[in-house]
Amino acid sequence: MPIAVPSNGASTPKPKILIPEKVSLDGLALLQASFEVHEKKGLSAEELKAIIPEYEALIVRSETKVTADLLNAAKRLKVVARAGVGVDNVDVGSATKHGIIVVNSPVGNINAAAEHTIALLMAVARNIGDASSSIKAGKWERSRLVGVEAKGKTLAIVGLGKVGLTVARIANGLGMSLIAYDPYANPSLAAAASVTLRPALAELLKEADFLTLHTPLIASTKGMIGATELATMKNTARILNVARGGMIDEAALLDALNAGTIAGAGIDVFTSEPPEADSTASRLISHPKVVATPHLGASTVEAQENVSIDVCQQVIAILSGELPRSAVNAPIILPEEYRTLQPFVQLVEKMGSLYTQHYSPHINPSSKSFRTTFDLTYEGALATLNTTKPLFAALVKGLLTPITSSDGLNINIVNAEILAKERGILVNENRSRENVEDKPYSSFVTLRARTSRSTSQSRTPSPELKRTISQATIPQDQDDQVIQGFVSANKPYISRLDRFKGEFIPSGTLIICRNFDSCGKIGFVGSELGKAGVNIKFMNVAPLHEDEEGKEGDTEGNEALMILGVDRPVGDDVVKGLISEQGVLEVSVVTL
């Protein structure tokens, strides 16, 4: 849910942002006005863990390991921003569970990575590394350092995404013949870049004069080029890796280079960075047939400017309660749609909270004794939006917040689905474009809870929910509870609560009384509250919905709800005093 940036009054501390790596000042300058920005390089994992509880945002590149352990220690963190593409150094699953948004900069350094790949291709083809060391050592070795041309050679690309396609376009200009393996590639983009797709990696490897890797480091790409794969390649083939170290088996590549079954390699990334002395990676780096760079793919002035501005803008958006444009673990929502959804997010959260507080102790949304299915129906203009995920998240937040300790869960669109699943909360979202013509507002939301007992044992009220006191019995199997609401002038209204219709603003402390719709009830409740020193700010009477009037069982005639907004929390003794022979049947106190 939105995160408010505290107003910058003298006494309100600015939210803190931690930057433990070198990130371009172009973006950081945008943060200075509203946030406290701490650049702290060279922190150990322990030092980082010790200070992370203070921070609301963490901006990293590839060096900082954002582990589950670090995220568990973070108390206020709302966003981890990766100033670059790869998020393999961030435990995204753990961030998601904590409701922490992970963002990256998916395009800012693409060109830099592609150009670096081409630089390594040329350097490997023309022995630039070896030749440079040789001449600096005072040698003049023209015949030993004869290279090969790129023109006419086959460049085999694994991973035809943003970097892969950019490499293809540049290599096309060099006169190379292009093939690629990527099971998820867009065939028309491939064709437009003159790339022929191969259905299997094995086929691609056999044909490659140059092999270049451009996939993310994920389970299916880890170790994808090992001894078996290298053995199928031409002796004259050269390998480039500007993606991630773990994708090539470094020991197998070193063996192949030593055996002369692979002609050379250009490597920017390593399994462990920086590589340890005397490791396989360090032997690869010093190999004469290898041109190596220290993870420089994204290290251009232009790329660093781009990614820094990109992620800093997203951090500002998130800490200001808006959605980022490149969230790795949250849905992308168009700004226009987000603006439309905002007041309904508030409404649906209130509906969820009202549900949990008003119907407890009968029903706890995450109770094991009852199985409750929530139908959330959007009517009218809301039904036409592409995504309603913020509304789903708002419902889960509303349902769970009243029964969760305040320092407990940070519930938002990032983790709402996981939390709902963990707690067995089932929500069906429905869209209906019907029935709005006869209603005064363009969008309505209806929450219908269908509860059935999942065990025969009767349930004791959950201790967190004992604020509701009632003469009523636990609802019978299959009873439905209905809460309906709408938004007017950006304010949420509840327009129906179960069998009763009546408009009230779900805000502050509300006393909801169910009583027989007969004379004297208002006076009785008013005088009881007066005796207790409770001031009534507003009062609404919600009669029975027309479908319900005069139903069987209403022995004293119809019932009504009385909703009173009061100026202070109301004790159980006052509530008990209201339930009486005077015809007040049930009372609940909710804080919204």
Ligand X SMILES: O=C(O)C(=O)COP(=O)(O)O
Residues involved in catalysis? 244, 273, 295
Site for ligand X in 259-298 (CB under 6 A): 295, 297-298
Convert residues 298-317 into a mask of x (bound to ligand X by CB under 6 A) and - (unbound): xx------------------
Binding to ligand NAI by residue 216, rule CB under 6 A?
A: yes
Binding to ligand NAI by residue 163, rule CB under 6 A?
A: yes
Binding to ligand NAI by residue 242, rule CB under 6 A?
A: yes
Minimum distance from residue 435 beta carbon to ligand NAI (Å) = 43
Q: DSSP string of 46-73? A: HHHHHHGGG-SEEEE-SSS-B-HHHHHH
Minimum distance from residue 249 beta carbon to ligand NAI (Å) = 16
| Of 238, 231, 252, 245, nearest in space to 289 by CA | 238
Taking CB under 6 A as the criterion, the residue among 102, 103, 110, 341 binding ligand NAI is 110
Minimum distance from residue 171 beta carbon to ligand NAI (Å) = 15
Reading the block at residue 575, the tokens are: 């509530």
Between 298 and 487, name the residue whose CB sits nearer to ligand X.
298
Q: DSSP string of 201-252? A: HHHHHHH-SEEEE----STTTTT-B-HHHHHTS-TT-EEEE-S-GGGB-HHH
Reading the block at residue 216, the tokens are: 């993310």
Residue located via tokens 């349930």? 459
Minimum distance from residue 81 beta carbon to ligand X (Å) = 11
Taking CB under 6 A as the criterion, the residue among 113, 284, 315, 316 binding ligand NAI is 113
Residue 215 binding result from ligand NAI, ligand X, none, given CB thresholds of 5 to 8 Å by partner type: ligand NAI
Binding to ligand X by residue 214, rule CB under 6 A?
A: no
Between 297 and 402, name the residue whose CB sits nearer to ligand NAI.
297
Between 70 and 119, name the residue whose CB sits nearer to ligand NAI.
119
Minimum distance from residue 443 beta carbon to ligand X (Å) = 41
Of all helices (H) and strands (E), which one includes residue 565? strand 559-566
Size of the site for ligand X (CB under 6 A): 11
| Of 581, 519, 570, 515, nearest in space to 542 by CA | 515
Between 84 and 129, name the residue whose CB sits nearer to ligand X.
84
What DSSP character marks residue 539? E
| Of 211, 328, 268, 491, nearest in space to 198 by CA | 211
Binding to ligand NAI by residue 181, rule CB under 6 A?
A: yes
Minimum distance from residue 479 beta carbon to ligand X (Å) = 54
- What is the DSSP pairing of strand 584-591 with strand 509-516? antiparallel
Reading the block at residue 173, the tokens are: 């200009």
Size of the site for ligand NAI (CB under 6 A): 31
The C-alpha angle with vertex 113 and arms to 108 and 118, in degrees rounded to 5, equals 145
Contact indicator for 242, 124 with CB cutoff of 8 Å: no
What is the rounded distance in angstroms from the CA atom of residue 45 to the CA atom of residue 408? Answer: 25
What DSSP character marks residue 120? H
Contact indicator for 178, 195 with CB cutoff of 8 Å: yes
Q: Is 502 helix (H, G, I), strand (E, B) or coil?
A: strand
| Of 154, 252, 148, nearest in space to 196 by CA | 154
Residue 160 binding result from ligand X, ligand NAI, none, given CB thresholds of 5 to 8 Å by partner type: ligand NAI
What is the rounded distance in angstroms from the CA atom of residue 381 to the CA atom of residue 433? Answer: 8
Binding to ligand NAI by residue 221, rule CB under 6 A?
A: yes
Binding to ligand NAI by residue 490, rule CB under 6 A?
A: no
Site for ligand X in 21-80 (CB under 6 A): 61-62
Reading the block at residue 66, the tokens are: 């954002």
Residue 61 binding result from ligand X, ligand NAI, none, given CB thresholds of 5 to 8 Å by partner type: ligand X
Binding to ligand NAI by residue 23, rule CB under 6 A?
A: no
Site for ligand NAI in 78-107 (CB under 6 A): 85-86
Convert residues 77-106 into a mask of x (bound to ligand X by CB under 6 A) and - (unbound): ------xxxx--------------------
Residue 66's Cα: distance from chain center in Å?
15
Minimum distance from residue 295 beta carbon to ligand X (Å) = 6
What is the rounded distance in angstroms from the CA atom of residue 21 to the CA atom of residue 60? Answer: 6
What is the rounded distance in angstroms from the CA atom of residue 455 to the CA atom of residue 433? Answer: 37
By beta carbon distance, the residue nearest ligand NAI is 161
Minimum distance from residue 251 beta carbon to ligand X (Å) = 23
Convert residues 259-298 into a mask of x (bound to ligand NAI by CB under 6 A) and - (unbound): ---------xx-------------------------x-xx
Contacts of 273 (CB under 8 A, 6+ apart): 62, 63, 245, 294, 295
What is the rounded distance in angstroms from the CA atom of residue 71 to the CA atom of residue 168? Answer: 38
Minimum distance from residue 319 beta carbon to ligand X (Å) = 22
Between 52 and 211, name the residue whose CB sits nearer to ligand NAI.
211
Between 182 and 250, name the residue whose CB sits nearer to ligand NAI.
182
Instruction: Find the helix packing angle between 301-319 and 110-125, rounded to 10°.
Output: 150
| Of 134, 151, 75, 590, nearest in space to 357 by CA | 590
Between 215 and 415, name the residue whose CB sits nearer to ligand NAI.
215
Tell me the one-letter amino acid at 214: H
Residue 246 binding result from ligand X, ligand NAI, none, given CB thresholds of 5 to 8 Å by partner type: none
List interacting residues with ligand NAI (CB under 6 A): 85-86, 109-110, 113, 158-164, 181-185, 214-217, 220-221, 242-244, 268-269, 295, 297-298
Which chain residues interact with ligand X by CB under 6 A? 61-62, 83-86, 109, 295, 297-299
